[in-house]
Each structure stands twice: as structure tokens, then as C-alpha cells.
């Protein structure tokens, strides 16, 4: 099966096959070895899934090589997207949600401390909450923010982010 898979890898463009072919064959070999002890149904499902994915991927890569974009509808199962990014408002919304949870915990603690243990029939007024956790979290957030600002200021002052140094490093694969 591995030899058939390696032959079908030649359906991919040469550059793609050169970069990913050995890794794809290795993964297929590992998965095929893992399912070899199982019954005929799991092995048949594996082969069908892998060969369908291989054919779909080869068509996608050829279309991308020719046109620069994917012509076919991408199957979610066979495509990976590395360009996912969180919206810019995500950290702010997460901080607001965290603050709401912390305030709720503080209020629940104040209510719990107000309830008498010995006389459950009489309920005294609820004492105002004493913010113990919220100021500590605020100090942690402010110190992390201050550290980030200091780090950014140092990088800005040096006008370096380190990315340019990566482009100057020698390539270990070239000899």
C-alpha cells in the first residue's frame, strides 16, 4: 500500500511533493501500520479516506499552482488555514468578562459572609462586599501592561524586533 501511496504522491506538483512528500508518506505508513491489526472495515475506511484526500489535495495544489488560488470548494476536512486571527476587540471583551466574573464572585462571597450560621430564620442585611480579589487582579494586569510597554519601548528604541535577524541566518538545508 505504501508503494501505491508513494506513486499517487506524484499527482502533486513537484515542489509540493519535494517539500511534503516524505512527511505525508511517513504519516500514511504510521496510520496504515496502526490499523493493520484491526478488521477489514477500518482498513478500508482508512484507505478510502487517505486516497480521496490525496486526490483532492493534488487537484487543489495544481489549481493553486496554476491560478494562484483554490478553484474547488475547500473541504474543511482536508484544508488547514494558518491565517486565522482573533478580532482586535477580543482581549478587551475577555477582560470585561473576567471583570464581571470577579465582581460576581466578590458579591457572592459578601452574601455568604452575611448569612448567619446559628440562626437561619433571621436574615441580617447583606454587608457590602470587600474587594480582595479584584484589586489583586488589577495590580497583576497593570504590572503586565507596564512590562509590555517597557518591552515595546526597548524594542522601539533599538528599532529591532528580531525578525530581520532570522532572515540573515544561514539556511541549514542548503549546503
* Residues 47, 110 within the same domain: no
Taking the CA atoms of residue 51, residue 52, residue 58 and residue 64 in that order, the dihedral angle to the nearest 10 degrees is -160
Same domain, 61 and 117: no
Predicted pLDDT at 173: 63
Asked if residue 138 belongs to a domain, the reply is: yes
For residues 95 and 157, state if they share a domain.
yes
At 21 the pLDDT is: 86
Look at residue 51 and tell me if it is in a domain: yes
- In a shared domain, residues 96 and 163: yes
Number of independent structural domains in the chain? 2
Co-location of 55 and 111 in the same domain: no
- List per-block mean pLDDT (blocks of 10 residues) for the chain, which spans 175 residues: 82 85 86 82 84 85 75 53 70 85 82 68 65 74 89 75 61 60
Q: Do the beta carbons of residue 53 and residue 80 sit within 8 Å?
A: no
In a domain, 146, yes or no: yes
CA gap 147, 140 in Å, rounded: 11
Whether residue 50 is found in the same domain as residue 113: no
Q: Is position 25 within any domain?
A: yes
Length of the chain: 175
Cα separation of 54 and 77, whole Å?
Answer: 12
- Domain span including residue 18: 2-67
Q: Do residue 146 and residue 105 come from a single domain?
A: yes
Amino acid at each position: 500500500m505504501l508503494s501505491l501511496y508513494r506513486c499517487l504522491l506524484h499527482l502533486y506538483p513537484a515542489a509540493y511533493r519535494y517539500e511534503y512528500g516524505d512527511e505525508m508518506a511517513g504519516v500514511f505508513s504510521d496510520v496504515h501500520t496502526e490499523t493493520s491489526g484491526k478488521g477489514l472495515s477500518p482498513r478500508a475506511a482508512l484507505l478510502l479516506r487517505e486516497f480521496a484526500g490525496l486526490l483532492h489535495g493534488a487537484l487543489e495544489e495544481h489549481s493553486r499552482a496554476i491560478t494562484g488560488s483554490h478553484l474547488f470548494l475547500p473541504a474543511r476536512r482536508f484544508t488547514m488555514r494558518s491565517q486565522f486571527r482573533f478580532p482586535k476587540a477580543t482581549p478587551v471583551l475577555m477582560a470585561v468578562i473576567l471583570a464581571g466574573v470577579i465582581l460576581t464572585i466578590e458579591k457572592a462571597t459578601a452574601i455568604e459572609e452575611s448569612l448567619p450560621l446559628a440562626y437561619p430564620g433571621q436574615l441580617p442585611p447583606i454587608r457590602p462586599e470587600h474587594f480582595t480579589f479584584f484589586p489583586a487582579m488589577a495590580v497583576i494586569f497593570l504590572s503586565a501592561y507596564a512590562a509590555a510597554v517597557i518591552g515595546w519601548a526597548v524594542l522601539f528604541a533599538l528599532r529591532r524586533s528580531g525578525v530581520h535577524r532570522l532572515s540573515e541566518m544561514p539556511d541549514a538545508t542548503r549546503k
